[in-house]
Amino acid sequence: MQLMMPIIRADFKASQTYKYEPGPSLECPLRAFGGLKDDMVPREQVEAWSEHTTNSFRAQMLPGDHFFLNTSQSLLTRIIAQEMLMHLNKSTGRVQHA
C-alpha cells in the first residue's frame, strides 16, 4: 500500500486538476481506442479526438469496458506494433512482409 498510495494520489490529482487548453492541431496521424462496453466514454467521445489532427484519424473500439486496456492488452499491443511498423516502413520505403 505504501508503494501504491503516492501513485494513486498523483492520478487523482492529475484527473481533478487537468484543464484542457486549446492549441494547434497535430500534423501526424492519430488513432484513438475505446472499449465496446465502456459506459463512461462512448464511441462519440473517442471519435471526437479527430479534431486534434490535420492528418488521418481512426477510432477503434476493442472488447471490454472502461478498463479495456487490461482485458484487450495483447490485441491493443499487436495493433499498435503493426501500426508503428507500417509507418516505419512507409518512411523508410521498405515493404512489409507478413
Decide if 61 contacts 89 (C-beta within 8 A).
Answer: no
Per-residue model confidence as pLDDT tens digits over 26-75: 999 999 999 999 999 999 999 999 999 999 999 999 999 999 999 999 99
pLDDT of 90 over the 90 cut: no
Reported as a pLDDT band with limits 50, 70 and 90, residue 16 is very high
* Predicted pLDDT at 96: 58
* Cα distances (Å, whole numbers) of residue 24 to 21, 51, 53: 10, 10, 9
Residue 55 confidence (pLDDT): 96
pLDDT higher than threshold 70 for residue 81: yes
Predicted pLDDT of residue 38: 97
The secondary structure of 60-93 as a DSSP string is: EEESSSTTHHHHTHHHHHHHHHHHHHHHHHHHHT
Q: Is the pLDDT of residue 22 over 70?
A: yes
Residue 35 gets which letter from DSSP?
Answer: E
pLDDT band per the 50, 70, 90 thresholds, residue 95: low
Q: What Rg value do the Cα atoms of the chain yield, rounded?
A: 17
**Could you give the CA distance from residue 63 to residue 67 in angstroms, rounded to a whole number?**
10
pTM, two decimals, is 0.75
Which residues, other chains included, contact 47 with Cβ-Cβ below 8 Å and sequence gap of 6+? 32, 59
